[in-house]
Structure formats: C-alpha cells, structure tokens
Amino acid sequence: MRTLPNRIAATLRPLLGERCAGCEARPAPGGLCDACRADIAPLPTPCCPLCALPGATASPCGNCITSPPHFDGVVAAGIFAHPLDAYIRAFKYHSRLSLARPLASLLAGQLAAEPLPDVIVPMPLAADRQRSRGFNQALELARQLPAPYPSRIGLSMRRIRDTASQAGLGRDERRINMKGAFAATPDVRGMRIALLDDVMTSGASLDAAARSLKEAGAIEVRAWVVARALRHD
C-alpha cells in the first residue's frame, strides 16, 4: 500500500506536470529544479579513487593503502549534508517514495563516465527492517534510474545476519560489526558489479557486501551512492 501514492503520482505526472520535490514551486522534469539541484554540494576534488574521501591528491588515501577496501571505487552524487541529507531521510524514514526518482536522477548524472555494469545489486536490508519499513530504499533507487540501468538489476545478494546499529562505532568497530553480514549468489562469477546504496558513511557495510561479491567470483565491484558522508564520528 505504501507504493500506491507513487503509482498515482506517476499516472498524474504527465497530466499535471512534475513539480520540484525540493521547493514544490518550480517545474522539474527530473524531480528537482535547477535551483534546488544547485544547492546540493558535490564531492570536493581531488578525492581518493577508492573511498571518495577528499584529499590533497587523487591518489589512494592512507586508510585505503593500509587497509584496502573490497570495492574498487565509489561514485557519489553529492555530500551527505543539507539539503541532500533531508531528502534522503524523508525518503527512507518517512516513506516519501516520490523522492526516489529525483534522488536516482542525481546519481544518474554522475554515471556518464562509468562503464555499464553487468549487474546492479541494491544493498539488501535485514528482513525485520524491510518488513517494518515496507521497502528497500536501494532497490527503489535502482528502479528509478534511467534506461538501461533498471534492466541490469539483480538481487544477487542477501543479508544473512542482522547487525547492531553502526551509529557511535569507530571505523574498525564498524568493519567488525558488518563482518559476515552478507552472502552473494554464484551467478555473479565473472561479473562486473555496481553495488547501489543511498548513503556511504564509513563504507563498512559496502565493504562487507563487496567482499561477499568478490568471494562469490565477481571481478569488479564499484559502489554507487546518492550521498557520501565526509565524517562518521
């Protein structure tokens, strides 16, 4: 039932014209008007080519050199800060599923230089969390990407262990907390994967998921996220 307003909106959009999800005042064919898009801060450059944290050069950062992640790079539409963080929280925690389209549009704008993956894998949620929320935000984002991306969606990974909240945990604690949380299916063998999520904070969840995909035989895993948090205290 939570998806019904989205379906109604999709039906009425061609008739009424789409309004900006941010200001609700201006027409916005992509879901956000130009002015509201301009308010979203892009990642500063240069960035680490692996974890996308800003640095002095475009070389791998110290953390990625000493403890390389299992993913091979990150694409992010912007910084997890106002107003993008507010859009994501409204989408994820307040069931504003109409925001999936503009958020996916922001991500799609960063994918021009990305090779088309064999499979797009939305980050899976724990079963209890998905039941209480009613949807998986990563899957909803993937479905709203423009063609040909939705045809590449594959539910090739599941969450096999629930985990404690990552809030308040340090970088190493987050990695330990997420260890063994995911299992990938054998059909990813030899595939190039885009692992899609809404927010990357420390990267521990994406790293654990990428590890499971690599262990199942994926040859490359790149993380696609709408927002990258620059701090995770």
State the pTM of this model.
Answer: 0.86
Structural contact between residues 80 and 227, judged by C-beta atoms closer than 8 angstroms: yes
pLDDT digits (tens, 9 = 90+) for 142-188: 999 999 999 999 999 999 877 655 555 556 656 656 666 899 999 99
The CATH number assigned to the domain holding 124 equals 3.40.50
pLDDT at 199: 96
Q: Dmax of the chain from CA atoms?
A: 55
Number of domains composing the chain: 1
Whether 5 is in a domain gets the answer: no
- Domain containing 214 equals 71-228
DSSP, collapsed to helix, strand or coil, labels residue 30 as coil
Sheet with strand 119-122: strands edge to edge? 74-79, 220-228, 192-200, 119-122
Whether 99 shows a pLDDT value over 90: the answer reads yes
Q: Is 40 domain-assigned?
A: no
Does residue 189 fall inside a structural domain?
yes
User: Is 3 part of a structural domain of the chain?
Assistant: no
Is residue 66 one of the residues assigned to a domain? no
DSSP 58-91: SSPPHHHHHS--SS--EEEEEES-TTHHHHHHHH
Residue 28: inside a domain, yes or no? no
Looking at the domain assignment, is residue 171 inside a domain?
A: yes
- Please list, residue by residue across 96-128, b when 16 or more beta carbons sit within 10 angstroms of its beta carbon and e when fewer do: bbbbbbbbbbbbbebbeeeeebbbbbbbbbeee
pLDDT reading at 224 higher than 80: yes
Whether residue 14 is preceded by a cis peptide bond, meaning omega within 30 degrees of 0, is no
- Average pLDDT for 189-210: 96
Q: Is residue 56 part of a domain?
A: no
